[in-house]
Structure formats: structure tokens, C-alpha cells
Chains A and B, each alone.
Chain A
């Protein structure tokens, strides 16, 4: 791992590339273009960028209307105000009619840092996953965020993508991205760690630490939470017999529950969910806040040992 780039930055840059290739792509924001990074698209294609002001519900439904005219809208704001505030607009005006709107929200999770608990959305994966027919994607690094943005532009139907504020290392390895297909980043036989978003890098770090203690952990990047790669989840749960999920989200409703739903009644294994334990976040430097909630590689390694 080398250079640090935030997934939101990669998303913003990818939109510009997509905008050049497809004039049907339009981008909407709610006065956060310089934070969600849609500012890059705004600068490149001002006539296809709509700032809807601080009115997220209106933005989502304008996106719905634009999609009915054959355009491909990407609606961006913070996860809290997209998946949170505009939940019902997404549910009733976008997902129910199966409109081709991409909801791409940044600033998810506690790694938002200083802005504090009001802005650290820990429920968006759960909220979006609940909606019938919604695709939910959480890229792990900048490379994956770029690929996911390209995949979304091709994908027909409603979809949600979660990106992070924090700049994090870009993986050196390059691997293919396919919606709904998890990537095994590290083979192992003692425990299967399923992670998404920024927690993929932390899970890899945990696996390295565990290896030093003779524990052979597999790490699987579940970038698509819905539809989840049930075959991969089942295979690694059976193979390892012990399953740990890691996410920068509430332990209720997110990746952990999605994995549990696949395995329940099917695979007999030990199971542990690592995430934020039914709490709100708080202000602090991103690294400090992640540590406060037990979401760093070394803490995750300790936590994983409890199921071994």
C-alpha cells in the first residue's frame, strides 16, 4: 500500500471520465459538491451538474424525474442526509418504480472524524439494504471506488454506493470488480473475515498480525452488500468454520447481518460481528475515533481471537 486517496475523491474523478464518455450522465448535489467531490464533474460539465441546494429530499426526487427522461442521474450528499433524511424519497420515488438513479453518498462511518456523531452515519447500509431491489455497494479503496462508479453507470436500476471522507492507502494489488461478486484478498483456513469499505484494509492488517501467532485467516472483500455473494460467503464459512464480519457501521443491519442471513440455518460455524455496537459516534481525529470504537487492525485481531 502506498498513496492515500479517499474513496469519495476517486468517485468524483470517475464521474468526470464517465461524463466524457456518456452525455446522458448528470450529477446532482445538495450544496456539498466540494465534500462529496462532485465538484470535479461540476467543473468539467457545468451544464450537466445540478446543485439542488440544501434540500436532499427534493434532490432525490428530481433525480427520479430526470431518470424518466432517459438521463442517468448520480445524486450525491452525505450518507446521513441521503440514506437518512431522504430515505422515503429513495424508497417510494426511486426504488418502488425501479428508476435508474444512482445514490452515491460520502462521509459514512465514524472516520468522518471531527464533525461528530450527527454526521457519522452508521445506519445507511442497513437502511438501503432493507429496500426491495436496491443494490448496495461499499468500495474498499480508491481503485475499487473508481471501478464501482463505472459499474454503476452501466448498471440498470436503483443503486446506493457509500464512500468515505478519510484518505486511506490504495491497495497495490489490482483485481476485477463485478457487482455482487466478492473478492478473496487473502486465502486462509482458520477463520474467514468478511469486511467492507475502509475495514477491508484493517482486516488485512488483523490477518497479518494473526499470522504472526500462527492463525491462518482468509480475508474477503464484500464490496457488494446487496445482492450479497452468498456462494462465496457460504464457501468460506464452511471452509473455515469461524466467521467474523468487520464494518464501519452499526452491528445492527449491515454487512454482519447480511452475512448472518446467508449462513443462518445452513452453515454451522462460530460467528462474530465487529462494528459499532449500537451507539452514536463522536468528534475526534479519524484515527482516534476509529480506535475508540475498536476498528483498527490490531484491535480487530484481538477481537477475532475471541472466536478462535
Chain B
């Protein structure tokens, strides 16, 4: 899909994130909005999927390690036809398939239950390792938060991705620089993140995580044989909604009715 078409889908995904969180009165708009271009690009241009057959054996895999970006995930899955948009009304409500964090038992198209930070990357490593053992050409993608990289297990996963030579694994980091208690640097600096990722044995692509052409180029770049790939996407938390952009407070707070209208107006196109 070309950039213009993807851009349209991204705008709709953003509108859906606002609709879902506003309707639920809770959720995580900030880190959902920052991940839109990264997640949409992966799903539309780089994954073999069949929305009519979500468990199709030949599918590629995606793990949302930063599970709180569920609204973005659900919106992308809905745009592809895995789930119906009518489910949005039930997001975070009793008996809904759309839990606050993704539940793979409930949502078609979701292959791992995530939300407890630091674990999804290891699950993706297991998927990629399993694919190799089974002689499958499955590609595995996982999306991490930068704050999530404060979890030690992320680095255990990175170490093992390089050790097992997982050149079918792409780790994408939504590097929006903010977390619940403040900026990453205030809370617990990650230091020289690009250098650390490279030192752990990844081929690194450092890009603007909202630039669809740059994302496409990084995703399309072939893996070096035996080397896992990491795309460090610099992003803006709350991207696309003026009053949410770069605001720590919009990590886990839903817009009220008035804010929803303003956000949706800004996202008209």
C-alpha cells in the first residue's frame, strides 16, 4: 500500500483510538497515538495475514509488548477486518473481547496476551525460534515502548535474539520519551539506547517513527543473515492531537466529551 493510502488509514486509526478511549472513559491514548504509523505499516505492508482465518498456519506474527497501546492495535485489526468496529463500544467493559490490555483468547488476530511490560519481546523470540525449528519462513514483529526497556527482561530477550541468530525477528521501539511518572530521562534514563541495542547484537535502523517512507524503508531492508533487526522509531506521545502531544498526563487518561470532539476535529481529513 502506498504512503498516501497508509496515511489515510493512520488518520482513521487515530480517530478510532480517540473514540474508543473516550467512550470507555479510560485507556491509554498517548502511547497508542505515538505507535500508529509503526503498527499500521507493519500490518498493511509486511505481514502475511488472513482476517477471515486468523489462525491460518502461514501467518506472520505480531506481539504488542507494550500492551497498553491496545486501542491502536484494535483499530488496526478492525481496519483489516479481524474485528468489527461495533466492538469499540464495549472496549474495557464487562464481557467484552476488547480487554484493557490484549487477550489472545478473546481477540481474533492477537497471538499473545500482553500488558505486563517486559514480556512480549521474549514471547516474540520464542515464536521466531519456533518458526526456525519448524523450518517455517514466518516473520515475527514485536512493538516495545521505550519506557518498557527499563525492564531487565527486555535485555534478556535482546541477548537471546542475537544468540539464537533470529533473522526472522524485527523489534520495533516506539521511542516517545515519556512514561507515567515523567520523561524517561527523569524517571530512569536509558542512556545511549541506540548504542546499547547495537551492542546487544542488532542491526539498528533509527528513524522518525511517524515518517511512513522512512518506516517502509526500514521494514523493507533485508535482515543480515543471522542478525535480528531493530527499528528505533522516534515518536511523539499523543501524536496528532495538539493538546495531547508530548504531555505526560495523557499516558493513561481518556478524553472527555469536549476533548473528544476537539481531537476528532483535528483528525478530520
Residues of A in contact with B (beta carbons under 8 Å apart): 26, 47-48, 50, 52-53, 55, 57-58, 60-71, 73, 88-89, 92-93, 96-98
Contacts and interface: CB of A to CB of B under 8 A. Distances in A.
Given A65-B130, A66-B129, 13 more contacts: A57-B119, A58-B153, A58-B159, A58-B160, A61-B157, A65-B128, A66-B127, A67-B126, A68-B111, A68-B126, A71-B133, A93-B119, A93-B122
Contacts of A93: 112-114, 116, 119, 122-123
Given A52-B160, A53-B159, A61 B134 contact: no
Q: What's the dominant secondary structure at chain A's contact region?
A: helix
Contacts of A47: 133
Contact of A97 (B104, B127, B130): B104
A94 to B, nearest CB: 10
Contacts of B127: 65-66, 68-69
B160 A53 contact: yes
B154 to A, nearest CB: 9
Contacts of B133: 26, 47-48, 66, 69, 71
Q: List 4 tightest A-B contacts by C-beta distance, closest first.
A: A65-B126, A69-B130, A61-B122, A58-B156
Nearest to B142: A65
Contacts of A26: 133
Contacts of A52: 160
B54 to A, nearest CB: 13
A63 B112 CA distance: 12
A57 B151 CA distance: 11
Given A93-B112, A97-B113, A64 B126 contact: yes
* Residue from B104, B112, B123 with most neighbouring chain A CB atoms (10 Å): B123
A265 to B, nearest CB: 30
24 contacts: A55-B153, A55-B156, A57-B156, A58-B153, A58-B156, A60-B122, A61-B122, A61-B153, A62-B160, A63-B126, A64-B112, A65-B112, A65-B125, A65-B126, A65-B128, A65-B130, A68-B61, A68-B111, A69-B131, A71-B133, A92-B113, A93-B123, A96-B113, A97-B104
Contacts of B163: 53
Contacts of A65: 63, 112, 122-130
Nearest to B151: A57
B198 interface: no
A61 B126 contact: yes
Nearest to A92: B116
Nearest to A98: B105
B157 to A, nearest CB: 6
A57 B126 contact: no
B201 interface: no
Given A93-B112, A96-B113, A62 B134 contact: no
Contacts of B156: 53, 55, 57-58
Given A53-B159, A66-B130, A70-B134, A61 B123 contact: yes
